[in-house]
Chain A
């Protein structure tokens, strides 16, 4: 365990966002909204829907799913395994919401809950849910990150002026190499991290529609936090960050926001070795659309001397990597196809390096970058923002 410290507790209150809490209504309570989509029928949602663009079958768009729900309410459509497939073939990336006045994804989450209530959840998903319920971690890793990374954390404290608790999340817990760099980089930027014996925040359980299971996961998560998050908590996974804010009402702050401020310091600027790179940045759905954090990562990237080239779809209209909503668990092939499309968008602006700030995007896009390419097609290299910071910051 980390010894008591005299470091000043970093105030995260300035990063607090006014985030809309997850809405929970029954399907029939959503009827008016579903009918409004039927009445409007603008179909703006299809443009950025990566699943639809690959499938080209209208049921997959947000309009199509809303229409299906109308069919259920009208008694014209029945529940089936295939209908469940439709609602699980969605990355919950919220690109449809960005082109709409409604939060369609909230309705889709209710649909998933309804499917689980009817025993139509997917077995691949249930296995993950059970792991989270029993182990408190998506991948079944019950070890305490505070213990595993104790040495790294203590090493990083040498440079620190501040301390702050951090919620790592299941994904980065499974990426120790990257996590070590995060600890080290933030330490070099003056912030010592305090890990806790954390339990999964429950997002996968919630997003897959397992409401009863979610209640127990939520209880464990809250208990594991103790008082650590009372004054806000630092995070590195955009999905956890958004979920901690939206569902748990915690001021969770993604570390790129903090780092973007820390590199502004004159002393720190002197310690940055400029990287001679031309790259693009991929906005993670939950960080950009979920939390509206689009400029800090760009500021951070530019501060490293990187020439940032924007893809056509960026910021709030960024396109999904294909890894969200449980897609990666059930349909790896489709997930990879979506990721390949995103990499193609980097090629379109003549860039072969893509920077990510999300562990899921990192894994999914990296895997896709190694997939078989068409003749003459160049590989787009996926770069984790923390690795770049690690390279650029004086050791």
Chain B
């Protein structure tokens, strides 16, 4: 645990003092690097004024307003060649490179904690090819998931990997952290869709990894898979080929109350056994259920009809041809209300609609998008641990215990079923954090660390959709054991100088130990 302490110290140093460590060893001054970038890419793609950099010093993750870490310079590339030029300059001058998309990450993955160059990839948002016959799309990595779907819609196709941040989350970010998807129960996540990916390594070399447009390969080492949830630590993701699906013509969405989380999980498993194709399934704990109920009461002036025995609320959707979907839905509802599960279909459609709005349509009434109003005092923040299906109740108990230990108010737990046609979920263990209070933000980071350890102890993992970022650095070895050393060697193979998104997954100083 000695190493953990060192990492923790380094992490705190970075977060509390957003200045570059003198010992980083950049070989040129930042003004010289800016000149090189401007000469290579043109001034219009290089942004170095204080306010131009400031917005890039933070994402969605909880931090106090004085913890914004602006990069030294921001670059908005248009092509892979632009990225190559940037990385070559960074390699030559030993400058950190962090790339990002919509900056809605929940754990600071794209926050340039070591400053340096920030690559805003959203300027690379071209849809390169839509291959209708082969159901694939080739895009520049900075295209948002919504932009891809807007382009696909006229061909009756869609990219199914859709988190709530789809309006600003880019394809590259989605690959870089393997985020959650509303439709994971049927289609999985970006890893199921990605057939090939282009990256620029830490030396500025362009590599195409994957198997072109074919869906599987048993040839070679699967380097493409290394890029998924690599957080840009191996290189910059510049283009991707993705498998897309026919748009469904019809969809039903419902919510069902269950006596326990376990019953809800068993119910989903039972539907799978019956052969139903569930499109989306999300399970909320009692506290989340209470949150929905109190929001409803506030809005409509009456309490929803929720029995005392209800301890879990399952949101579920089916999609496809209308007649078949109607059959699936009615079958699923019949099983839910059977003696076996004793569920109750939620009668208040407003709650169902509100859940689906926040999950998928995002069509909040104009001027009434709810999030800012609910985050005036505190914000939602979560640990994204994962456990096997039989450990759901255990991790829930741990979540409550750890939140209370750190004095954090609990919002609740969600299980997002994201294993295609099989049981398996990501977890959002959410608490409220006063982001104006250093003490509470610090308590949240401790909470995150404790949750990470608890999940590994329950035969699970510390991250299911935010990736490691700097938050999980202290428990990286705890989860990965000796394989962490192999990971560092892989990192150095792609990025010999350790300049790509440094400080994420492992502290940069720990890479030196590997070299030695």
Contact surface of A with B, Cβ cutoff 8 Å: 32, 35-44, 46-47, 56-59, 63-64, 67-68, 70-71, 74, 76-78, 80, 82-83, 86, 97-103, 289, 316-317
Contacts and interface: CB of A to CB of B under 8 A. Distances in A.
Interface string B155-172: 000000000010110000
B362 interface: yes
Given A64-B55, A67-B54, A76-B50, A56 B76 contact: yes
A279 B376 CA distance: 43
Given A44-B362, A47-B168, A36 B49 contact: no
B51 interface: yes
Interface string B94-114: 000000001110000000000
Nearest to A312: B150
19 contacts: A35-B435, A40-B379, A41-B58, A42-B104, A42-B371, A43-B102, A43-B167, A44-B168, A44-B369, A46-B102, A46-B167, A56-B76, A56-B125, A57-B74, A77-B51, A78-B50, A82-B49, A99-B364, A317-B366
Given A36-B375, A40-B372, A41-B103, A57 B367 contact: no
B101 to A, nearest CB: 10
A151 to B, nearest CB: 43
A101 B371 contact: yes
Given A43-B168, A99-B369, A100-B372, A57 B52 contact: yes
Contacts of B120: 56-58
Say whether chain A's binding surface is mostly helix, strand, loop, or mixed.
helix
B55 A59 contact: yes
Contacts of A40: 371-372, 375, 379
A37 B372 contact: yes
B54 A77 contact: yes
B65 A74 contact: yes
Nearest to A98: B366
Interface in B42-101: 47, 49-52, 54-56, 58-60, 65-66, 68, 70, 74, 76
A137 B325 CA distance: 62
Given A36-B376, A57-B47, A68 B435 contact: no
Given A57-B76, A317-B366, A46 B379 contact: no
A71 B54 CA distance: 7
Say whether chain B's binding surface is mostly helix, strand, loop, or mixed.
loop
Contact of A101 (B59, B362, B368): B368
B68 A76 contact: yes
A99 B367 CA distance: 6
Contacts of A76: 50, 54, 68, 70
B370 interface: yes
Nearest to A71: B54
Nearest to B379: A39
B354 to A, nearest CB: 15
B104 A41 contact: yes
A337 to B, nearest CB: 14
A57 B370 CA distance: 26
A332 B228 CA distance: 43
B123 interface: yes
B373 interface: yes
A98 B52 CA distance: 25
B341 to A, nearest CB: 35
A68, A74, A86, A101, most chain B CB atoms within 10 A: A101
Interface in B138-168: 142, 146, 165, 167-168
A66 B373 CA distance: 16
A39 B370 CA distance: 13
Contacts of B379: 39-40
A171 B211 CA distance: 59
Nearest to B142: A56
Contact of B367 (A41, A42, A74, A101): A101
A46 B169 CA distance: 11
B147 to A, nearest CB: 10
A70 B55 CA distance: 10
Contacts of B287: none
B168 A46 contact: yes
Contacts of A63: 55
Contacts of A103: 367
Contacts of B50: 71, 76-78
B51 A44 contact: no
A102 B372 contact: yes
B375 A39 contact: yes
A99 B372 CA distance: 10
A247 B478 CA distance: 61
A367 to B, nearest CB: 24
A370 B435 CA distance: 51
B489 interface: no
A68 B366 contact: no
A68 B125 CA distance: 25
Contacts of B56: 58
A86 B367 contact: no
Contacts of A70: 54, 65, 68
4 nearest CB pairs, A to B:
A316-B366, A56-B123, A39-B379, A101-B372
Contacts of B104: 41-43
B161 to A, nearest CB: 18
A351 B168 CA distance: 29
Contacts of A46: 102, 167-168
B122 interface: yes
B436 interface: yes
Contact of A39 (B47, B366, B435): B435
Nearest to A38: B65
B436 A74 contact: no
B429 to A, nearest CB: 19
B372 A82 contact: no
A70 B436 CA distance: 13
Contacts of B142: 56
A270 B372 CA distance: 51
Nearest to A34: B65
Given A41-B59, A57-B120, A101 B54 contact: no
B55 A68 contact: yes
Contacts of A86: 51
Interface string B113-127: 000000010110100
Contacts of B368: 101
Given A86-B51, A99-B369, A74 B66 contact: yes
B366 A289 contact: yes
A39 B433 CA distance: 10
Given A44-B362, A317-B366, 7 more contacts: A40-B371, A57-B52, A59-B54, A59-B55, A82-B51, A101-B369, A289-B366
B417 to A, nearest CB: 24
Nearest to B365: A316
Contacts of B49: 80, 82-83
A38 B54 contact: no
Given A43-B168, A77-B51, A58 B103 contact: yes
Contacts of B378: 39
A42, A59, A71, A97, most chain B CB atoms within 10 A: A42
Contacts of B370: 101
Contacts of A77: 50-51, 54
Contacts of A35: 65, 435-436
A317 B361 CA distance: 14
Nearest to A76: B54
Nearest to B150: A312
Given A58-B55, A67-B55, A42 B369 contact: yes
Contacts of A82: 49, 51-52
